[in-house]
A = this chain, B = another copy of it.
Amino acid sequence: MIDVKPILEGNVRAAARLMRDLDDRRPEGMAALKQLFPHTGKSYIVGITGNPGAGKSTVVDALIAYYRSLGEKVGVVAVDPTSPFSGGAILGDRIRMQRHALDPDVFIRSLATRGHLGGLSRSTFDVASVLDAMGYSRILIETVGVGQDEVEVMRAAHTTVVVTVPGLGDDIQAIKAGLLEVADVLVVNKADREGADRTERDLMHMLDLRTGDRKAVEIVRTIATRGTAEGSGIAELAKAVEAHRARVWQGEAGSERANVRAAAQVAELVRALLADRATQAMRARGGMHELAQAVVEKRSDPWSLAEELVEAL
């Protein structure tokens, strides 16, 4: 049984220990989350995603500096679905955010893929809950890429910022289309580059193609500079986030949105727990190797086998 009192008091080492327990899927970790739950709900969570090469981490870096300058405690969840390493071991905190690592009011946690039955979205919700209970009033979720993982991770955010940049390649249109679905605020970063006007026009056009809610998404231009809140446009970006917060997280619409977010979290947890069960079911049938061999030798087919396994649960 984990004593959650130090975590509620903001003890960083106790929190890091709990996060490791959660990584290892220890039952004590889940029990601790249940105890922390009554103390959550005070943080505002901002997700930052977007095209590779758009300078997301620089935008995050500048936002940390900005929120710190307002006296907010800032938690960061750096999510990298392309990395096999979890915990503090990935690029995220090591290189990009060194400067903030010395600030006791900034807590940075990296999350990466831990086995394909894992569930990054679940871990993101879990870590955000811990940071929330610890008193971090602002939580930033950063992802490195663009894909369905990122879209799911963003379900934990209250406001999702999508960062793009002028002059990207030809696969970009398709990527933008997927990301636009989740964008609450759009950023054109490196706005001093040639083509910024055109990028903004393109984005507006794509928003127009969405069903009638173009005005709901603000487009902000930034020239983020690593390590300073004075990066051009960062204050405007923070303002756009607050505007979105005021617009959608209040009143009846706000309750509805909170419901959708909680539903996503429960669904993700159910999925993760079922995945654990599936692993157990396979072990009970002599392990996956044995089962797969039946498929290779065409003694059984994958679909029948999967059905049998699920029936046996």
Contacts and interface: CB of A to CB of B under 8 A. Distances in A.
Contact of A267 (B51, B269, B277, B282): B282
Interface stretch (A13-21, A234-242, A294-302): A294-302
Most buried by B among A34, A147, A261, A291: A147
Work out how many copies of this chain go into the complex: 2
Contacts of A200: none
A69 interface: no
B293 A259 contact: yes
A296 B116 contact: no
A253 interface: no
Contact of A262 (B38, B57, B295): B295
Interface residues of A, number: 85
Interface in A270-313: 270-275, 277-278, 281-282, 288-289, 291-293, 295-296, 298, 301-307, 309-310, 313
Nearest to A80: B174
A217 B54 CA distance: 30
Contacts of A146: 52, 82, 145, 147
Which 4 pairs from chain A and chain B are nearest by CB? A53-B169, A82-B178, A147-B147, A269-B306
Interface of A: 30, 33-34, 37-38, 41, 51-57, 80-84, 90-91, 113, 116-117, 120, 125, 144-152, 168-175, 177-179, 181, 255, 258-263, 265-267, 269-275, 277-278, 281-282, 288-289, 291-293, 295-296, 298, 301-307, 309-310, 313
